[in-house]
Chain A
Amino acid sequence: EVQLVESGGGLVQPGGSLRVSCAASGFIFRDYSMKWVRQGPGKGLEWVSYISSSSSTIYYADSVKGRFTISRDNAKNSLYLQMNSLRVEDTAVYYCAVGPEYCSGGNCYWGYYYSMDVWGQGTTVTVSS
């Protein structure tokens, strides 16, 4: 079964740090790009960050650039998001998700025709004093 399981959420004070993790199983993790998406309480979805399968390409939303760092460990089938200088407005459920790039045999393909759409159940980060 293809599965993503997030962990590491919790309560942190403004200005603090937290690292959330995402454990992947049931698919060849190293072949897929990954992303983090968050959803504040009662709010819509907000894309946070993207990392390619080899970690060679990384993107961040302007709202987190310079404060958050995405990384992955393909040997451990794990994705991470290190969050520093946290703000009240970073309070959200953080989802990890697969895609949209798939790489195989040295070739990479963009889009969900080649990749797949799999999401975790989310981990809650609360920034409050």
Chain B
Amino acid sequence: EIVLTQSPGTLSLSPGERATLSCRASQSISSSYLAWYQQKPGQAPRLLFYDASSRATGTPDRFSGSGSGTDFTLTISRLEPEDFAVYYCQQYGSTLFTFGPGTKVDIK
């Protein structure tokens, strides 16, 4: 089973600041089959990126995804009020589609 570790657990920032979220895998993820999801309270998750860096429909340009192998990053260049949420990475390159524990981005 591929274990995903996300850091930090919580990121306290102000609107307009840059956010950098990390996702590290216990082993290399096949074909960079890694997704990033955003989840707000009471809502289902929303796909932001797939294949590590491919932007899903509707994902704003201020978001970017990068990485390969075991190290992946989600960057929000300038935080907007609607970006404060929990972010999860998930791999779908093996037969067990594991999620990371999540990073909460909250308002400082």
Distance in Å from the Cβ of B100 to the closest Cβ of chain A?
A: 8
Cα A116 to Cα B92 in complex, Å, equals 14
Task: Evaluate contact between A117 and B99: CB separation under 8 angstroms.
Answer: no
Task: Evaluate contact between B101 and A44: CB separation under 8 angstroms.
Answer: yes
Contact partners of A122 in chain B: CB under 8 A: 44
Task: Evaluate contact between A45 and B102: CB separation under 8 angstroms.
Answer: yes
Contact of A46 with B33 at beta-carbon distance under 8 Å, contacts A62-B1, A117-B47, A120-B44 already known: no
- Identify A111's interface contact among B50, B96, B98, CB under 8 A: B50
Distance in Å from the Cβ of A102 to the closest Cβ of chain B?
A: 13
Secondary structure dominating the interface of A: strand
Task: Evaluate contact between A44 and B99: CB separation under 8 angstroms.
Answer: yes
| Size bracket, chain B contacts | 20 to 34
Across the A-B interface, how many residue pairs have beta carbons closer than 8 Å? 60
| Most A CB within 10 A of own CB, among B47, B95, B101, B102 | B47
| Size bracket, chain A contacts | 20 to 34
Distance in Å from the Cβ of B54 to the closest Cβ of chain A?
A: 7
On A, residues with C-beta under 8 Å from B are 35, 37, 44-47, 50, 59, 61-62, 95, 97, 100, 110-113, 117, 119-122
Top 4 A-B residue pairs of the complex, sorted by shortest distance between their CB atoms: A112-B50, A117-B47, A119-B44, A47-B97
On B, residues with C-beta under 8 Å from A are 1, 31, 33, 35, 37, 39, 44-47, 50-51, 54, 56, 86, 88, 90, 92, 95-102
